Amino acid sequence: MVNHLNRRDFLAALGAGAAALAIDPAQAAAASVSGAVKPIRGSWFEFQHHATVEGVDWNPACVRFSAQQWDSKVAEIAETGMEYLVLMATALYYRSFYNSRIYPKWRLSCADPLEAVLAAADRYKVKFFIGAGFYGDWESPSVITDPVAARQRLESLGELVQQYGHHPSFYGWYWPDEAFINPRYSPQFVAYVNALSHEARQLRREAPILIAPYGTRVAVPDDEYVRQLDAMDVDIVAYQDEVGVRKSKVTETPVFYEGLRRAHDRSKKARMWADVEIFEFQSEVYKSALMPAPFDRVLRQLEAVSPWVDEILVYQYLGLMNKPNSPAFAGSPRSVRLYSDYTAWLRNPV
């Protein structure tokens, strides 16, 4: 999900009893009856947060996670009824999170965190979208057109399928260098998407492809926008609600999503999901730690987008939600409160 440099550019132009909770995914889905608030169906996921100051409360813990702790974290997420995880990056800062010819490996306690989480996801019936990032300088506005980074991204897809394609949980792909819809997609972004998708279809033809653009507030879902949806080889567009980055107010987002819903209904190509930001900044936007938002705000965010989208993903469970007494705790103490409040509501969604 979150390419915070792009967003920065946009700004410039259950109590203890929840410890034993296990939510039946069918029950969670049943909460999404007509007119009701849709539950959270998935989350972004990462081994290290790319913006160090933002991930200060969980990056150090994730460095130390063992394979068993990564297993526990995936199990914990599955217990809430979430079905999808979107792995942000398989590489970051010119180091990889798997055995790659492209970059040297990150020095983590777990020798192969990608194997650990996919094996866990196989066990707990979770579906992973695997991200093709970050190759090259993720902070550079020209990273999507950088020929070296483009070659590395394409090469990584083949490596990932070769090493991890046997996992049933290797479900789909995610292209993480996000688009700023201003007020439509740039030709460069459309080319970036289609180049990756063309390669991905050769490797795993049926694997769905996800993107998560920002600029939801200023998108113009007109005839040209519909033509762009038709021209992009993607299966799912999960629009960021931009509440956490203080771009949009919860009361405004239904208007944005309603217009985009009409465009998707006209295109009849990519499914429309939401990417709901369940964080707030400790102080200055992009220059301070990400903290869990109060659940009353998160619930209003879910209410706002539910009528217009097929599924709701969040940014993100890891670091912002933790089961009480989790053996794989990563985040601030406030993360327990958000987990407990959400799962309490999920048991009784009124």
Give, in order, the Cα–Cα distances in Å from 101 to each of 63, 89, 202, 329: 22, 16, 21, 32
- Say how many CA atoms lie within 13 Å of 77 toward its Cβ: 36
Average pLDDT estimate for 130-152: 93
Average pLDDT estimate for 213-221: 95
Q: Are 260 and 216 in contact (CB under 8 A)?
A: yes
Number of domains the chain contains: 1
Reading the block at residue 169, the tokens are: 């949980």
pTM of the model: 0.90
Reading the block at residue 6, the tokens are: 């792009």
Query: What are the counts of helices (DSSP H) followed by strands (DSSP E) for the chain?
Result: 11, 12
CATH of the domain at 103: 3.20.20.80
Average pLDDT estimate for 184-190: 96
| Cα gap 107→97, rounded to integer Å | 9
Query: Is 24 a residue whose pLDDT tops 70?
Result: no
pLDDT at 337: 98
Q: Are 55 and 63 in contact (CB under 8 A)?
A: no
The whole domain housing 308 covers 4-347
pLDDT at 35: 52
pLDDT in tens, 292-342: 999 999 999 999 999 999 999 999 999 999 999 999 999 999 999 999 999
| Cα gap 269→234, rounded to integer Å | 8
